[in-house]
Amino acid sequence: MLTLYMHPLSSFCQKALIALYENETPFTAHHVDLMDEAQSAAFKKMWPVGKFPVLRDETEKRTIPESTTIIEYLAQRYPGPTKLIPDDASAAYEARALDRFYDFHVHLVMQKIIGDRLRPEGERDKTGVDKARSALRTGLGIAEKDMAARTWAAGEAFSIADCAAAPTLFYVNMVVAPLAGAYPNLAAYLGRLSKRPSYARALKEAEPFLKYVPA
Ligand SMILES: N[C@@H](CCC(=O)N[C@@H](CS)C(=O)NCC(=O)O)C(=O)O
């Protein structure tokens, strides 16, 4: 029995949700409100780092933090028709490399920009945000070139790389800057991702909470 500790608004949780929904893997969603002291403390007992998603596999008695590791685990232990990690070694390398690329060079820098807006006025980190904006431009520039000739992030098959790309491109487009002007290939790719049933479902579940994302 699988339980995902998560919140629907969280981009890294959406990444894990896409993987679960792709293969219709049965699981229970356990929502955690990190602003609630009791819920946060209970969650930190399970994973002291305090970041979600975390997957609990009661059958295997395993607790698995980190979205990438969760998807690797699902691909290995609960495989389905969508090969989130391709069988072919070279294709698997490409998908894994792009998962890391989207997490480090798009997702985390996007989080830095948005996270800074949640800080009180006097505690903002202008230098850090300027650096993150520059890193984001670099990351998006690389991805834009890649997506000129691809349907999905790693080629023609949907994979872990798309689970990583979808939520972060959505939030970049919504909060940092619309992709359509400077990044038409990424805008078209985000359009395809938004129609993919797994991500469309995760996004629909996030909708009631989107008002809490700082504009
Ligand atoms: N490397 C982690 C990142 C997870 C992460 O940053 N999660 C955010 C939500 S999107 C979180 O839990 N933030 C709460 C906090 O930092 O206190 C992963 O891939 O799962």
Taking only the tens place, the pLDDT of each residue in 94-131 is 999 999 999 999 999 999 999 999 999 899 999 999 99
d(CA 64, CA 54) in angstroms, rounded, equals 6
Contacts of 147 (CB under 8 A, 6+ apart): 153, 185, 186, 188, 189
10 lines ligand 1 (CB under 6 A): yes
Nearest CA to ligand 1 atom 9: 10
67 lines ligand 1 (CB under 6 A): yes
Residue of 6, 51, 213 best suited for mutating to test ligand 1, as the one with most atoms within 8 Å of CB: 51
Q: Would the pTM of this model clear 0.95, i.e. be above it?
A: yes
Give residue 144's pLDDT.
98
CA–centroid distance, residue 52 to ligand 1 (Å): 5
Q: Which residues face 29 on adjacent strands?
A: 4
pLDDT beneath 70: ranges in the chain: none
Taking only the tens place, the pLDDT of each residue in 9-29 is 999 999 999 999 999 999 999
d(CA 210, CA 169) in angstroms, rounded, equals 15
Could you give the C-alpha distances from 143 to 39, 96, 110, in angstroms and in order?
37, 15, 14
Give residue 214's pLDDT.
86
150 lines ligand 1 (CB under 6 A): no
SS3 string, 50-109, reads: CCCCEEEECCCCEEEECHHHHHHHHHHHCCCCCCCCCCCHHHHHHHHHHHHHHHHHHHHH
